[in-house]
Each structure stands twice: as structure tokens, then as C-alpha cells.
Amino acid sequence: MLQQTQVKTVIPYFNNFVKKFRTLKSLSKSNEEEVLKMWEGLGYYRRARNLLACSKELVKKYNLKLPDTLDKIKSLPGVGDYTGNALLGLVYNKPTIAVDGNVKRVFSRIFNKEEKKINFEEFIKRNKKKLFCTNRNADFVEAIMEFGALICKPKDPNCYVCCLNKTCKYFKSSSKIKNIRNKMIKNRNYDIFCYVNKKKQIALTKNNKISFLKNFNLPVIRVSNGFHNDQNWKFLKNYQNSISNLKLNINLYYKFSDKIPANYRWFSLISNKEFVPSFTKKIFRQVSTLF
């Protein structure tokens, strides 16, 4: 849940989630709709789907026990190098480092060398003896991430209180490295067409065409080819929405109608028992201004 999301946002979601799914087994018996509903508003819904798929696989293949090798852990849905190493360290106390942005920054500063010039995998392999000189590996894997988040922070690192400042090259250097992260932003234009009715409802269907919104309930959505000039649809608003590295420019159109295409269903603009993703909720907010 914490990936790309702030701690204070996550806390109520986490508490509700573990209250509902007290064990891995109870999670594995759930379904996507139920899990997504618990996740509603957090975004990045692939994480929720992967978590459910992962629990099912742990039940089916591993008798509810997390495997203890990196290769096997990484074969689980949604688990890559970072999560795999974090789990090996935290669960099995294995000597490992979960290399995230915080960890990369810490090492790059200690050597005053740009992140892109360091092969982290190689570096960890070569320095195993020096790095893993404790038998508290579970604490170490967590501590090094926390150190990056709390002491060697992205902006204004706390060098004066840092226990590494006697050897840290960044601290001592007069020409400090700069790590510039270039997030590749992609721009996309979409037209969205909403059937609405007087009961404050909107017609949605499972989207299968736009890959990053696949299987989510949405109104009609099409790649935009400029301003849509169809008398049947009224223009409501232009707005921006960002999903991961995508910057979406959206033209929203609407039509009051009681008839909707066969594969559509009515959803309330106010509240629904069914899961509605944040992207669609933003459409709800725009359309609600009609009432």
C-alpha cells in the first residue's frame, strides 16, 4: 500500500484491510471486486490485484508459507527484485538489501557518485562481508531504507547528526553530486462520453480498450482527435488527470438519456457498493456539477 502513497493516507486503509482479512487464507478466499472495494481511493489498483493473486498462489503452491529463495519469491504475482529482497530480509533474516530510491541515494552520497554510475547489484555482491556484518539482517534491511527516508533525505540531509558524516564523501566534498530523476511523462488526449439520468446516475461499462484502465468501470472513452462536434453530446469540461507517468488531457461530454447501450449499467454519482476507481470518481465529481 505504501508504494507511491503517503503513510498518513495508507493508515486507515491498512487498518480496515487487516481487520477484514485477518489471515492470508481469508484474503485468498476473497475476490477481486471485494479487494478493490477495500482499496478504493488508493489508486495503483494493480497492487491490490497482485496481492490477491499472490495470496491465492501461496495457498495453492506453497501451503501458505512464503518461499525462502529469491527466485521463487519473484515468481509470485507483483513481486520484483525490491519486494523479493525486502521479504527475504524481513521474513527470513537473510543478508540482503532492498534497493529502492532511498537506498540508492544513501550509497550514491556516501561515495559522492551519481546513482546512474553505480551498479548496485554488483556493489552489494562485492561488499557482502562489509555490508552484512550483523546477524540482525531483518533490522538492517529496514534500517537502511529508513535511514534514507529520515536522515539522508532527498532534500536537506541531516548531515550534522548523521553517524556516517566522518567518512561520507558527499558531506566532505565541495562539489557535491546531484541526482536528477527524469520521470518520462507521456501526454495523452481522451474524449469521455457520459450518459446521465435525472436520478443522478451515470452509465458505466467495463473498459477493455485502454490498457491502463483495463477492466475498470468507465463511461465511453476514446482517444481524442480534436474537439468533438456532435450535436447529441454536450461539452461539459476539459480537465487534467495524472496516472503514474501519464498526463491525461480529458474532454468530458454528457447526454441526458434513459436509454443506454446493452453492456452498460447505471451507477449512482453519490455512492456505490461496487468498486469505482479514482479515475472514474473524478468523472463523477465533474458530472455532479450538472445537478
Residues lying near ligand SF4 in the complex (CB under 6 A):
106, 109-110, 151-152, 157-159, 162, 164-165, 168, 170-171
Could you identify the residue written with the cell 482479512? 21
Q: β-strand 234-243 against 246-256: which pairing, if any? A: antiparallel
In the complex, the smallest distance separating the C-beta of residue 134 from ligand SF4, rounded to whole angstroms, is 18
> Which residues are CB-neighbours of 171 under 8 A, at least 6 positions away?
109, 159, 162, 164, 165
C-alpha 37/C-alpha 18 separation (Å) is: 14
CB of 139 to ligand SF4, least distance (A): 18
CB of 107 to ligand SF4, least distance (A): 9
> What is the separation, in whole angstroms, between the first and last Cα of the chain?
35
Cell 469521455 belongs to residue: 192
- Residue 160 or 227 having the CB closest to ligand SF4: 160
Q: Which is nearer to ligand SF4, 82 or 111 (CB)?
A: 111
d(CA 74, CA 85): 9
Quote the least distance from Cβ 105 to ligand SF4, whole Å: 8
Q: Count of CB atoms within 10 A of residue 36's CB?
A: 20
Cell of 290: 450538472
Query: Strand, coil or helix: what is 44?
Result: coil
Of 71 and 156, nearer to ligand SF4 (C-beta) is: 156
How near is the Cβ of 131 to ligand SF4 at its closest, in Å? Answer: 15
Query: Which of 158/257 has CB closer to ligand SF4?
Result: 158
User: Which residues lie closer than 8 Å to 56 by C-beta, 6 or more apart?
Assistant: 28
Closest CB to ligand SF4 among residues 136, 172: 172
The smaller minimum CB distance to ligand SF4, of residues 149 and 164, is found at 164
Please say which residue, 163 or 184, places its beta carbon nearer to ligand SF4. 163
Residue 198, C-alpha cell as written in the block = 435525472
In angstroms, what is the minimal distance from the CB of 164 to ligand SF4?
A: 4
* Residues 6+ away with beta carbon under 8 Å from 253: 191, 192, 193, 194, 228, 230, 233, 234, 235, 236
Tell me the C-alpha distance between 1 and 244, whole Å: 15
Gap between the Cα atoms of 68 and 18, Å rounded: 24
Query: Closest distance between ligand SF4 and the C-beta of residue 112, in Å?
Result: 9
Report in angstroms how near the CB of residue 157 gets to ligand SF4 at its nearest.
4
Q: Which is nearer to ligand SF4, 124 or 196 (CB)?
A: 124
> How many whole angstroms separate alpha carbon 178 and alpha carbon 59?
46
